[in-house]
Copies of this chain bind each other. A is one copy, B any other.
């Protein structure tokens, strides 16, 4: 027995982490990445993963172990970060403003990346003339489509679609293609409805591309995606690429939708027990909404998971044990009401893991991932995340 060595080994385990701390299970991450990569390949489309969930070059390298591939980003800060790590083909999938488009094209000029933008109005198209004049770069843009009344975008048969495309060209920009996001698929929960949502997303994008081509716009990229529809798509004829983000980590919302098993969820927050109220059936831990996020995405699903499902320190789920309340740095664990289960033994100082309602939101509360593997307590690596805009 060498105490020094043993302490050094101990320092590389989750026991040495201050809590709350964000864990990422490498085997689950790899499995999730492989699953959608294979499905996309089988459907004959390019996968353009959305880096808004992981915001980490290390996670991106798991997806692209060789050359950097095509990615989607949700902020210009992400684009700048991934450009700095050699990524060259990116889509900023948030509608442009004159200021963000200028900043994006300055990044292109400085680094040579191809950062495609998104728009759906004549005003945005007209603004490209100034952006081009200011930066000397020809903006390449997607027309945003609305396939399910979720948020922004134009319907495929809206006459404005062709008008906006024409104005992009008139302003000196390039039409890269059309882009849809079936955001309403997050509210579904049956395989049939998910297959239909994926079909609908395809119909809308392919139709819009046809309309634009009939009016002389080549529309080389036909892009769609959301984690649920990406996994339930059975036929993507006419589509060239699919986008998804949360699929890398998965979460309880996606489990509720029916896209993944609980065992696929790759991130969790490690927390320490700091108290109990046996008369109320409560155990208190040092992870509140600051560590878990305020996301309550399962609140309207069939099974409300509170602020997250509780597992033991090695990741095994305690059946029906959830975080029922959260304040800034406190979480309250309780057995789901109506369950016949009893509270497990969780003395002061013992540690648990909490699975996320929404992986993007939980991960955003942390600056790094401690990478673990299955039930091992060993930490493989520390992967940084970025944030800001």
Contacts and interface: CB of A to CB of B under 8 A. Distances in A.
Interface stretch (A28-36, A188-196, A292-300): A292-300
B152 A330 contact: yes
A151 B52 CA distance: 34
A134 to B, nearest CB: 13
A152 B20 CA distance: 18
B100 A272 contact: yes
B289 A123 contact: no
Given A74-B329, A328-B360, A97 B274 contact: yes
Interface residues of A, number: 60
Interface in A73-97: 74-76, 94-97
Quick one: copies of this chain in the complex?
2
A211 interface: no
A228 to B, nearest CB: 15
Nearest to A146: B277
A26 B19 CA distance: 34
B284 A20 contact: no
Nearest to A152: B275
A124 interface: yes
A347 interface: yes
Interface in A272-303: 272-277, 280, 284, 286, 289-291, 293-296
A286 B97 contact: yes
A142 to B, nearest CB: 13
Interface string A367-389: 10000000000000000000111
A272 B99 contact: yes
A95 B151 CA distance: 43
A69 interface: no
Interface of A: 18-21, 52, 74-76, 94-100, 103, 120-121, 123-124, 127, 144, 149, 151-152, 183, 272-277, 280, 284, 286, 289-291, 293-296, 325, 327-330, 332, 347-349, 360-361, 364-367, 387-389
Contacts of A95: 274-275, 284, 286, 330
Contacts of A293: 294
A280 B150 CA distance: 11
Contacts of A290: 74, 364
B284 A151 contact: yes
A52 B295 CA distance: 20
A280 B149 CA distance: 10
